[in-house]
Amino acid sequence: MSKAIWADVLATLKGALGANNFSNWIEPLELTRLSDGVAVFDVPTNFIGNYVSQNFGDHIIHQLNKKGGDVQRLQFRVPSQSAAAPKPKVAAARKTNGVDAASGSPLDARFTFDTFVVGKPNELAHAAARRVAEGGPVTFNPLFLYGGVGLGKTHLMHAIAHELKERSPELNVLFLSAEQFMYRFITALRERKMMDFKQLFRSVDVLMVDDVQFIGGKDSTQEEFFHTFNALVDGQKQIIISADRAPGEIKDLEERIKSRLQCGLVVDLHPTDYELRLGILQSKVDVYAAQYPELEISDGVLEFLAHRISTNVRVLEGALTRLFAFASLVGREITLELTQDCLSDVLKASDRKVTVEEIQRKVSDHYNIRLSDMIGPKRVRNYARPRQIAMYLAKQMTSRSLPEIGRRFGGRDHTTVMHGVKRIEELKALDSQIADDLELLRRALQE
């Protein structure tokens, strides 16, 4: 019974986590017991157990329960060494993950330069990636790409790999995530195959490591990464790294590695702006139009989505996929109304929560006054007007009460805030400059 549930869950997990995660982390698990709300797994190492528990635990519990498992908790056990010979499954997992596998992660065929939409926020990163993808003599080493989640780092790295492989098939291009780097390193240690490991990593022509922030705090992995890195740089081999933040800001990363990472070209992908989001949506719609030729999409829908959905492109894509699937299911045109119905949860989640402090900062920047003057006691018009505008926006854009807002403006009384809000309401109707400023500020705060 429990085996059947697990088999069911495995199929779902494979789809949800991707083939690579699946073979690295899920396949080595063996469900040995499912009772009293606990699912017990045999795992080859504690490391795998901890990793799975931290990264996929909730997901696995959720899926088990969906199939009727009634599970509250997962437990991972390493079978004792004295137990019988390793189970075939473990042996198989070792082989696929072992250091003798010279390939990196599979590349997503859709992540090419052709499908990457370029806009202001990513133009520099794109240009640098293009440059590296041309091959030729190494100009900056490493290329370090960083930016928030879902802004296209992995996409750009795959694009570089595709292009390099096409231009120079003889090059040994290795792309892998930092966690895979660590996993291989640890496997090599465990299996006493460090020589092979070193050899493999030092024989590549281009090394790409995605999400390198992951090795922060993992001391021995950092150390090995550092040596690999140096050996490749010394050998004039190109290295391309991505992370979710700048090298200097990666937590628990050794100083010498930080400075090494800064030696080449460091470029960031900025959060998307409206134009880029619209461009991306348009390019994706072209793909969907071919897939769902019967579907119509009303004017204004893409603009609406580009306005309302956050900067994360993955969320944007997910919304569009859902929208097309839903419209095709109900056989209706994609109108604004249908969009709002279908995506109400996504739209709600991306309503940004703005804080009073952010509003104060934005407004003081806009009017070129110091934050301390906005909050402070001075009542000259130069400070008082921006202060009232900030109070008005705070009332409009946050759920703070008047007394709470007053407190954040240097302990002013709630009647002062009320007066300020009223004053701006009046002025907004009379003074188009103020109305424009308000609109601009509101939009900037929602970005």
| Token digits of residue 291 | 């897939």
Asked if 155 interacts with ligand ADP (CB under 6 A), we say yes
Q: Which of 13, 29, 74, 117 binds ligand ADP (CB under 6 A)?
A: 117
93 or 157: CB nearest Mg ion: 157
| Token digits of residue 253 | 């990363």
Question: Exposure string (b/e) for 318-329, b if CB count within 10 Å is 16 or more?
Answer: ebbeebbebbee
Q: How far apart are CA 107 and CA 236, in angstroms?
A: 24
285 or 356: CB nearest ligand ADP: 285
5 or 323: CB nearest ligand ADP: 323
| Token digits of residue 233 | 């740089």
Q: Which of 154, 187, 221, 272 binds Mg ion (CB under 5 A)?
A: 154
Please answer whether residues 212 and 242 qualify as being in contact, where contact means their C-beta atoms are separated by less than 8 angstroms: yes
- The verdict on whether omega for the bond into residue 142 sits within 30 degrees of 0, i.e. cis, is yes
Partner interacting with residue 150 (select from ligand ADP, Mg ion, none; CB below 5-8 Å by kind) = ligand ADP
Q: Which of 31, 257, 313, 391 binds ligand ADP (CB under 6 A)?
A: 313
What are the strands of the beta sheet with 30-35, ordered from one edge?
A: 30-35, 38-42, 73-77
Asked if 253 interacts with ligand ADP (CB under 6 A), we say no
Asked if 270 interacts with ligand ADP (CB under 6 A), we say no
Length of the chain: 447
CB of 151 to Mg ion, least distance (A): 9
Please answer whether residues 272 and 447 qualify as being in contact, where contact means their C-beta atoms are separated by less than 8 angstroms: no
Q: How far apart are CA 422 and CA 83, in angstroms?
A: 77
Please answer whether residues 326 and 342 qualify as being in contact, where contact means their C-beta atoms are separated by less than 8 angstroms: yes
x/- contact string, 314-353, with Mg ion (CB under 5 A)?
A: ----------------------------------------
C-beta neighbour count of 171 within 10 angstroms? 16
Asked if 181 interacts with ligand ADP (CB under 6 A), we say no
What residues form DSSP beta bridges with 30? 42
Q: Determine the size of the site formed for ligand ADP (CB under 6 A).
A: 17
Q: How far apart are CA 264 and CA 434, in angstroms?
A: 46
111 or 367: CB nearest ligand ADP: 111
CB of 384 to Mg ion, least distance (A): 47
Q: Which of 105, 122, 222, 228 binds ligand ADP (CB under 6 A)?
A: 122
Q: What element of type H or E holds 366?
A: helix 356-366
153 or 184: CB nearest Mg ion: 153
Return the beta strands (E) in 80-163 as ranges: 143-147
Partner interacting with residue 327 (select from Mg ion, ligand ADP, none; CB below 5-8 Å by kind) = none
CB of 152 to ligand ADP, least distance (A): 3
Q: Which of 280, 281, 374, 421 binds ligand ADP (CB under 6 A)?
A: 280
CB of 286 to ligand ADP, least distance (A): 12
Q: What element of type H or E holds 77?
A: strand 73-77
Q: What element of type H or E holds 356?
A: helix 356-366
Asked if 177 interacts with Mg ion (CB under 5 A), we say no
CB of 155 to ligand ADP, least distance (A): 3
Enumerate residues 132-151 that contact ligand ADP by CB under 6 A. 147, 149-151
Asked if 374 interacts with ligand ADP (CB under 6 A), we say no
DSSP annotation of 85 = S
In degrees and rounded to multiples of 5, residue 132 shows phi and psi of -65, -35
| Residue 59 φ/ψ region, left for φ over 0, alpha for ψ in the -120 to 50 degree band, beta for the rest | alpha
Asked if 277 interacts with ligand ADP (CB under 6 A), we say no
Which residue has the CB atom at the shortest distance from ligand ADP? Answer: 152
Q: Which of 24, 97, 105, 154 binds ligand ADP (CB under 6 A)?
A: 154
Asked if 177 interacts with ligand ADP (CB under 6 A), we say no
Three-state DSSP at 102 gives coil
Asked if 130 interacts with ligand ADP (CB under 6 A), we say no
Task: List residues binding ligand ADP (CB under 6 A).
Answer: 111, 115-117, 122, 147, 149-155, 280, 313-314, 317
Task: List residues binding Mg ion (CB under 5 A).
Answer: 153-154
